[in-house]
Amino acid sequence: MSLIEARYPMKTRKNRIALIIAAAAITLIWSPSFAHTLEWKMKQGDHVEIVKTANVIYRINNENQNATRERNIIDLYCTGVKNERYSVKSLFSLYSLGAGETVFKLDKKTESSFEIARDGTYFVDAKTFLPNLRSIPSFPAGDVAENATWTKPGSLVFDNFSVPFMVEMPVNYRLAKVTTENGTQLAEILFQYVVDYTLTGQQFPKDFPAKIIGHSEGVVLWDLSKNIPVAIKENYQMAFVFANNQVVMHEWLMGIETAYNNYEPKKETPASDLSKEIAPESGVTIKENERGLVFSLGEVLFDFNSADIRKDSAEVIDKIAAIIKRDYPDREIIVEGHTDDTGSSYYNKDLSEKRAGNVAEEVMSQVGHDKVSYIGHGEKFPIEKNDTIEGRKKNRRVDIVVKVK
């Protein structure tokens, strides 16, 4: 059980909602002897990793359709600090967990650049697509006392339609309490917002709903010593109402756990040094590129047209996993499958996904965390031409990418 779960179990949800709503209209309370400064602090070169994992129930007209598990991993890279704002480059990655699977599949990546103010407000260019929740949490100016309340704007971006759509709404906060654990001051901040947005008129595309309604409430755990977030626990419910010939409501209920990891720049182990630890006959090459540290494994892992890992190859994967666990114990790992262009594109993509998924399962069983995912690219990214036997052989590979940058 996480610290945030222990503090706010689900059975207290109604009490938390009542407290937040009741506090929304109260003027900010000042108590100088117990006041705290709430603000973001970043410096150039910092890397903030935000891992959002959600249990999702999807309903149509109040009838459950399916239950899934989804994940976002958002990497924020601070590129500069100016005028109380942090310039960041970001990578938003969306993952899904299929029925009966244990490893997330990487579905989509989106890159963006924007700014975050010290009070937590996002500043995003209108032409820039930035998915997910924005400006939560945000903080008031000046010190904040325990039980103080404030309201700041937030926004949600929906990517469910022909074009992205953003909804802005007020978010109510309350600083519930501050505790000290192992020398670290932790603030527990309750938040709540309601969305009630009607979409009418010709300016909206035909596939847009007539109405978006929903609400969310949760708690943020904030490190006052470092001025960085630690975790968020959130209960989220959102519905799209369509009203053409009949009223149809599509609804999503989510329990969302968010964890923050803050990585400062550090010297990484050179790929050349790591290569000395793996036998040359294993067929493994190690390189560094914009994706991170890449362990590239040839087709020797599998028999022809098979996605099952050979027994003699499992030892090679376990050796790589041991290196990752030792040198990069908390870093995200993405396993990518590749094929040559022999056969249909559909078959190649399917085979590359199955191979990558099996390798990802083996890696995850060894590294001690679940920030492991897979994706199959098929023939899309060859490293050699496919017009020779040797070229096709090199293109049939699986890459284990450790996100160290």
**Could you read off the pLDDT of 54-105 as tens digits, one per residue?**
999 999 999 999 999 999 999 999 999 999 999 999 999 999 998 889 999 9
Mean pLDDT across 9-34: 43
Q: How confident is the model at residue 133 (pLDDT cuts 50, 70, 90)?
A: confident
What's this model's pTM, rounded to 2 decimal places? 0.86
Q: Which fold has domain 271-402?
A: 60s Ribosomal Protein L30; Chain: A; (3.30.1330)
Helix axes 311-327, 345-367, angle to 10 degrees: 60
pLDDT at 272: 76
Beta bridge partners of 89: 77, 113
* Main-chain dihedrals φ then ψ at residue 138, nearest 5 degrees: -130, 155
- Rounded to whole angstroms, the Cα distance separating 217 from 3 reads 18
**Could you read off the pLDDT of 290-328 as tens digits, one per residue?**
889 999 987 667 777 778 888 878 888 999 999 999 999
pLDDT at 94: 95
pLDDT at 109: 93
Q: How confident is the model at residue 7 (pLDDT cuts 50, 70, 90)?
A: low
- What tokens does 184 get? 């670290």
Question: Where do the domains of the chain lie?
Answer: 3-263, 271-402
SS (H, E, C) the chain: CCHHHHHCCHHHHHHHHHHHHHHCCCCCCCCHHHEECCCCCCCCCCEEEEEEEEEEEEEECCEEEEEEEEEEEEEEEEEEEECCEEEEEEEEEEEEECCCCCCEEEEEEEEEEEEEECCCCEECCCCCCCCEEECCCCCCCCCEECCCEEEEEEEEEECCCCCCEEEEEEEEEEEEEEEEECCEEEEEEEEEEEEEEECCCCCCCCCCCCEEEEEEEEEEEEECCCCEEEEEEEEEEEEEEEECCCEEEEEEEEEEEEEEEEECCCCCCCHHHHHCCCCHHHCEEEEEECCEEEEEEEHHHECCCCCCECHHHHHHHHHHHHHHHHHCCCCCEEEEEECCCCCCHHHHHHHHHHHHHHHHHHHHHHHCCCCEEEEECCCCCCCCCCCCHHHHHHHCEEEEEECCC
Mean pLDDT across 138-159: 94
- Cβ distance 8 to 15 under 8 Å? no
